[in-house]
């Protein structure tokens, strides 16, 4: 988690936009920082690989939480996932009515980097920068979809709510 993406999530949380209840983080292995401390209450971190901060080893495209989530956070994952549309669809499905989805992803201008350690891509590792159109399209069925571009950081940020 690089500083600009962390600041985006912190701003959403501090603005009181996150409803109370379970928070599910998709791609929660702490590679270079974690957002976990920004949230309160029940929190489940899901990742494909075990590691620091991971509560459940599972595929974010198919994981089902123990209860509907008030908030699903997916930070710095989608550029590493060939199944990004399925991950966002699953995130939307696990939200409770009125629940919030928070996304950060690498957009145009960010150099390819490894999901393993943030360094150079490894042989065979998937990577594709995400566009605002990608995120907007993947959030079909959600409402209040907002997508921002941080060109300085090379980031895409988004929030969306599950219809009540």
**What pLDDT score was predicted for residue 114?**
85
In this predicted model, what pLDDT tens digit does every residue of 100-157 receive, in sequence order?
999 999 999 888 888 888 889 899 999 999 999 999 999 999 999 999 999 999 999 9
**What pLDDT score was predicted for residue 2?**
87
**What pLDDT score was predicted for residue 112?**
86
**What pLDDT score was predicted for residue 55?**
97
d(CA 52, CA 120): 20
Tell me the residue range of the domain where 63 lies.
3-161
First to last CA, the chain: 31
Q: Where are the alpha helices (DSSP H) in the chain?
A: 3-14, 84-94, 132-138
Enumerate helices (H) and strands (E) in the chain, giving the number of each.
3, 7
**What pLDDT score was predicted for residue 26?**
98
Tell me the sheet residues that pair with 69.
95
> If DSSP states are collapsed to H, E and C, what string results for 40-67?
CCCEEEEECCCCCCCCEECCCCCCCCCC
Structure confidence at residue 85 as a pLDDT band (50, 70, 90) = very high
d(CA 113, CA 111): 6
In this predicted model, what pLDDT tens digit does every residue of 22-38 receive, in sequence order?
999 999 998 888 999 99
Provide the domain count of the chain.
Answer: 1
CATH number at residue 9: 3.40.50.150
């Amino acid at each position: 988690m690089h500083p600009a993406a962390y600041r985006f999530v912190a701003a959403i949380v501090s603005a009181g936009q996150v409803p109370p209840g379970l928070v599910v983080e998709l791609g929660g292995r702490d590679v270079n920082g974690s957002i976990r401390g920004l949230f309160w209450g029940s929190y489940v971190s899901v990742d494909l690989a075990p590691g620091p901060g991971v509560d459940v080893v599972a595929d974010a495209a198919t994981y089902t939480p123990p209860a509907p989530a008030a908030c699903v956070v997916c930070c710095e994952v989608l550029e590493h996932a060939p199944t990004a549309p399925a991950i966002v669809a699953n995130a939307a499905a696990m939200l409770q009515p009125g629940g919030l989805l928070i996304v950060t992803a690498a957009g145009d201008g960010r150099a390819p980097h490894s999901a393993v350690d943030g360094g150079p891509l490894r042989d065979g590792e998937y990577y594709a920068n995400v566009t605002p159109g990608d995120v907007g399209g993947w959030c079909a069925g959600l409402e209040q979809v907002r997508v921002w571009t941080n060109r300085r950081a090379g980031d895409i940020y988004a929030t969306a709510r599950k219809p009540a």
